[in-house]
Amino acid sequence: MSKDLVSIIDVKKYVGKEVTIGAWVANKSGKGKIAFLQLRDGTAFFQAVAFKPNFIDKFGQEEGLEKFNRIKKLNQETSVLIKGIVKEDERSKFGYELDVTDLEIVGQSDDYPITPKDHGTDFLMDHRHLWLRSRKQHAIILIRNEIIRATYEFFNSRGFVKVDSPILTGSAPEGTTELFETDYFGQPAFLSQTGQLYAEAGAMAFGKVFTFGPTFRAEKSKTRRHLTEFWMIEPEMAFVHHEESMDIQEAYIKFLLQAVLDNQAYALEVLERDKALLQRYIDEPFKRVTYDDAITLLQEKSAENDYEPIAWGDDFGSPHETFISNYYGVPTFIINYPKAIKAFYMKPHPTRDDLVICADLIAPEGYGEIIGGSERATDYDYLKAKVEEYGLSEEEYSWYLDLRKYGSVPHSGFGLGLERVVTFITGNEHIREAIPFPRMLHRLKP
Regarding 200 and contact with ligand 4AD (CB under 6 A), the answer is no
- State the alpha helices, DSSP H only, in 207-348: 242-263, 265-270, 275-283, 291-300, 318-328
Minimum distance from residue 369 beta carbon to Mg ion (Å):
5
Site string for ligand 4AD, 332-371 (x = CB under 6 A): -------------------------------------xxx
Regarding 232 and contact with ligand 4AD (CB under 6 A), the answer is yes
Residues in a beta bridge with 235: 210
Q: Considering beta carbons, is residue 372 or 413 the nearer one to Mg ion?
A: 372
Q: Which DSSP helix (H) or strand (E) runs through 58? A: helix 52-59
Residues in a beta bridge with 288: 333
Minimum distance from residue 374 beta carbon to ligand 4AD (Å):
6
Minimum distance from residue 442 beta carbon to Mg ion (Å):
24
Cα–Cα nearest to 261, from 141, 135, 146 = 146
Regarding 26 and contact with ligand 4AD (CB under 6 A), the answer is no
Helices (H) and strands (E) in the chain, counts: 14, 16
CA angle 8, 13, 19 (to 5 degrees): 60
Let me know how long the chain is.
Answer: 446
Cα–Cα nearest to 126, from 349, 394, 440, 340 = 440
Please identify, among the stretches 228-236, 241-249, 256-264, 299-307, the one whose residues bind ligand 4AD according to the rule CB under 6 A: 228-236
3-state helix, strand, coil in the chain (%, to 5): 35, 25, 35
Residues in a beta bridge with 375: 412
What residues numbered 334-373 form the site for Mg ion, per CB under 5 A?
372
Minimum distance from residue 421 beta carbon to ligand 4AD (Å):
7
Among 372, 411, 422, 433, binds ligand 4AD (CB under 6 A): 372
Among 281, 419, 422, 424, binds ligand 4AD (CB under 6 A): 419
Selection from Mg ion, ligand 4AD, none that 371 binds (CB < 5 to 8 A by kind) is: ligand 4AD
Among 242, 342, 420, 432, binds ligand 4AD (CB under 6 A): 420
- State the alpha helices, DSSP H only, in 221-264: 242-263
Which residues bind to ligand 4AD, rule: CB under 6 A?
A: 174, 194, 196, 217, 219, 226-227, 230, 232, 234, 369-374, 413-415, 417, 419-420
Q: Given the rule CB under 5 A, which residues bind Mg ion?
A: 372
